[in-house]
Amino acid sequence: DAGITQSPRHKVTETGTPVTLRCHQTENHRYMYWYRQDPGHGLRLIHYSYGVKDTDKGEVSDGYSVSRSKTEDFLLTLESATSSQTSVYFCAISDPTSTETQYFGPGTRLLVL
């Protein structure tokens, strides 16, 4: 299995509070992604990174920010959580120099009350 961990794995928070999710990889892959998965919508890209300090928006980026200060870590921040951000969040990595395959982390279940 690709070395990807996500923390926390589960979180319950209240509307209006800030939340940060962490993705850590040991594969030294250049690309990292944050997706959310909701019933009926599949996986939707929030943000992705193509290198340290290099990030770009995905399909559903409103209300989310990201940072990547090291190759191995990609942080997703909900500045002020809303109930619509209740979801399962997956981090993924890929190395386009060798393959386009994405490897996914175990996911974080976030409940915003």
Residues contributing to the site for other proteins (CB under 8 A): 31, 33, 35, 40-45, 48, 50, 58-59, 90, 94, 96, 99-107
**CB of 24: closest distance to other proteins in angstroms?**
15
Residue with tokens 């993924």: 92
Q: Given phi > 0 = left and psi -120 to 50 = alpha, else beta, which region is 59?
A: alpha
**CB of 22: closest distance to other proteins in angstroms?**
16
CA–CA separation, 112 and 83 (whole Å): 5
**CB of 55: closest distance to other proteins in angstroms?**
12
Question: Of the candidates 110, 26, 108, 19, which has an alpha carbon nearest to the alpha carbon of residue 73?
Answer: 26
8 A C-beta contact, residue 80 and residue 64: no
